[in-house]
Amino acid sequence: MTPNVKGAVLMMGSMAAFTVNDALIKVAGADLPLFQMVAMRGLLATLLVFLMARHLGALHLNFPRHDKWLVAARCLAELSATFFFLTALLHMPLANVTAVLQALPLTVTLGAVLFFGEHIGWRRILAIGMGFAGMLLIVRPGPDGFSIYAIYALIAVASVTARDLITRRMSTHVPSLTVTLATSVSITVAAGIATAVTGWEPVAPGAGIMVASAAVFVLTGYLCSVMVMREGDVGFIAPFRYSSLIWALGLGWVIFGDWPDTITMLGAVLVVGAGLFTLFRERQSQPTE
């Protein structure tokens, strides 16, 4: 396979792994409290990441103090994203939550403009506006206003955007697996502390297998996402991240019997279309845009 094809396969593998992890957590969430699931998954994922990082020699803190603060900030953003995303996931259809997350290329682009002073042209500004309009169609308010869980999904998008913008500011001296391990440890510890308040339920074998499987899939997703950055042209590979929506539609229909209505699907098309256009313009844009 060419580097571009390898990168595309790895990106699709990453999105599939993350989406399967989401489906497993959603199923297990019928029997287990959220923080207990996160703590259980985190223990196994942290162990696996530690062993992998140690084997690859990627476990060290020999990088500038500035980067250490960025790693800490990234962990906080990831912690917020985990809580709000999984809470929304347990109360919303899988495809709907996944579709909201497809706005990330748009929100990251907008964040780079607002916080880093990056320049974008009117075409990408228009695409961002269309993407946000599509997101509103997905989380549209009902008779009583926005669902609290739809708001949680939007907060998750904001948190992941902050995480990605923070990651952009890190230097190349910071090993990816060290960042992944720090994130996994922080989420696991925070979830473990939270279980002191929410309690710990007995774990049935089926639920335990699903949480353990989720840990393996989430680690696979992280591993593929790290490997994908070393293969091919990012401009070619990045659009394949939207394959997660296909997985979410299929798994949501097969496992939960959910299928988005026409308005939600229209919103998803707008979000994905705007994101693809934004990625294309980022690749093709010139200073005179």
Q: What is the pLDDT of residues 211-240, one digit of tens each?
A: 999 999 988 887 787 677 666 676 677 788
User: Per-residue confidence at 105, pLDDT binned at 50, 70, 90?
Assistant: confident
Q: Which of 96-110, 114-128, 163-177, 225-239 has the highest mean pLDDT?
A: 96-110
- pLDDT averaged over the chain? 86
User: Per-residue confidence at 82, pLDDT binned at 50, 70, 90?
Assistant: very high
**pLDDT per residue as tens digits for the range 233-268:** 766 777 888 899 999 999 999 999 999 889 889 999
User: Helix, strand, or coil here: 261?
Assistant: coil
Q: How far apart are CA 24 and CA 106, in angstroms?
A: 28
**What's the rounded mean pLDDT across residues 52-62?**
79
Q: How far apart are CA 161 and CA 109, in angstroms?
A: 9
Give pLDDT, residue 226. Answer: 67
**What's the rounded mean pLDDT across residues 94-119?**
87
**What's the rounded mean pLDDT across residues 81-104?**
92
User: CB-based burial of residue 206 (10 Å sphere; 0-12 exposed, 13-18 middle, 19+ buried)?
Assistant: exposed
DSSP string, 203-223: --HHHHHHHHHHHHHHHHHHH
Give pLDDT, residue 288. Answer: 41
Report domain extents, the chain. 3-285
Q: What's the predicted TM-score (pTM) here?
A: 0.86
pLDDT at 287 over 50: no
User: Per-residue confidence at 185, pLDDT binned at 50, 70, 90?
Assistant: very high
147, 269, 20: which is closest to 260 by C-alpha? 269
Q: Which of 60-74, 136-150, 219-233 has the highest mean pLDDT?
A: 60-74
- Dihedral over alpha carbons 145, 164, 247, 28 (to 10 degrees): -70
Q: How far apart are CA 226 and CA 175, in angstroms?
A: 10
DSSP string, 78-97: HHHHHHHHHHHHHHS-HHHH
CA end-to-end span of the chain: 35
Written as six digits, the tokens of 13 are: 């593998």
User: Helix, strand, or coil here: 233?
Assistant: coil
Comparing 288 with 231, the larger pLDDT belongs to 231
| 171: Cα within 13 Å, side-chain hemisphere | 10
Comparing 216 with 1, the larger pLDDT belongs to 216
The answer to whether residues 131 and 274 touch, using CB atoms and an 8 Å cutoff, is yes
